[in-house]
Amino acid sequence: MTRHGWAGAVAAVLAVAVGRVFGVVELYVIGAGLGVAVLAGWLTVRLRGPVLTVDRWVHPPILTVGGTGRVDLTITNPRRRRSPRITAVEPVGPRDTARIALAPLDGGEVVNAAYRVPAARRGVLDIGPLVLERRDLFGVALARRSVAPTIEVVVAPRTHELPMPDLGHGILGRHLLTQAQRLGSGEFHSLRDYQTGDELRLVDWKASARTEDLKVRQHTTEGVRRCIVVLDLRHDPAATDRPAGHADAHADGEDDPFERGVTAAASLVHAADRAGLTTRFVTAGDIDLRGPEVASNTLRVLARVLPGGDLGEIERDPGEGLGLVLVVTPSPMTATWRRTEAVLDPTLTRVGIFTAGRGEATGRLSVDASSTDRFLTGWEALAGRGGLDVRARLLEHAGALA
């Protein structure tokens, strides 16, 4: 019974009671009419309630902040007789509700319906349960039937399109080129004179003995092959033991350093994976993601991540070739920034993405992420405008061999 139904039933009883006390026949008629209307409505929804079946799909499976998802419904009348008019009602998050009015369906008829889901903030959006409602003509009775359970839809942080550094392009690319030449990680190419900073293991002592100067083996240079993205969940630039306060950890706040850090980490993992690098994502809570699904798995983790939590010891990377360690943290004074020193080796270059804008102490290999615009501009200046695409180069090389 709805509120109107209970009100009608009470009014019917009162009308009959008053009519009996004062002997007013008209009140008997009114009370009887109200009672019949309430009973008829209740019997209508009781005997012909919602019997439709519904299949539901949500796509894309992972939404992005600022984007829009879509929920598709396939509704079937499994019975032979015509269905009554029904409304499909489904909660979308804590505040919104989707309502779809369904016209009567013939027996066995199938119809499709859909509604859009705006992704306003990072987190997990609960959709459902999907309920079919059948009301009578007077609105005095309501029959409800749940046809689909509650599902969780992941709303990941937005990702910006970022170029990955290529050797010789941008500040970072030139640094990597120099490092690759010193390491001699490629195939032997020629001999050259020794320069300050060259690895002694590259010195060709036999060739040097025949000349007055030291000779160094020159190798072909290999590009970047791997990337580790480290996200600091500490909100406080000083990285104290006090968890950072955060009014709405899932809000898409461009002015919030923590949210900027989450967005930066998601963008860097997405860019590295798209460029074909062996990508790894590390953050607090013993989260260490890698493998072919690292980009999508990282988005699922970042959708739920909250401020606070200490980063444990980072496992050293066993990969080969040049690599990047991209550390997203408030400032170079944090414990996370100091802890990443333990994983560095001559093949790895560390870059700081500082959400508090305190990157002066790290030299030129840092990005001021105190605002979204500064982060995008700073990264482009660091990585260069050209984009590294390992997969494209492998295809070009395979085509040349063919």
Burial letters for 177-207: b for 16+ Cβ neighbours within 10 Å, e otherwise?
A: bebbbbbbbeeeeeeeeeeeebeeebebeee
* Alpha-carbon gap, residue 230 to 318, rounded angstroms: 16
Q: What is the pLDDT of residue 97?
A: 92
The highest-level CATH class for domain 53-156 is mainly beta
> What tokens appear for 384 in the block?
């260069």
Domain residue ranges of the chain, discontinuous segments joined by + = 1-18+26-37, 53-156, 224-396
Q: Name the least confident of 81-85, 362-366, 392-396.
A: 392-396
Q: What is the pLDDT of residues 270-328, one digit of tens each?
A: 999 998 899 999 999 889 999 889 999 999 999 999 998 888 888 887 777 788 999 99
The strand ranges marked E within 128-266 are: 130-135, 142-148, 151-156, 188-193, 215-219, 224-231
Indicate the SS3 state at residue 141: coil
Q: What is the pLDDT of residues 67-92, one digit of tens each?
A: 899 999 999 999 888 888 899 999 99
Q: What is the pLDDT of residues 206-252, one digit of tens each?
A: 767 777 777 766 554 566 889 999 999 986 554 433 333 333 444 44
> What tokens appear for 95 in the block?
């505040």
Third-level CATH fold of 224-396: Rossmann fold (3.40.50)
Nearest to 379 by CA among 267, 255, 254: 267
Q: What is the pLDDT of residues 4-21, one digit of tens each?
A: 778 888 888 888 888 878
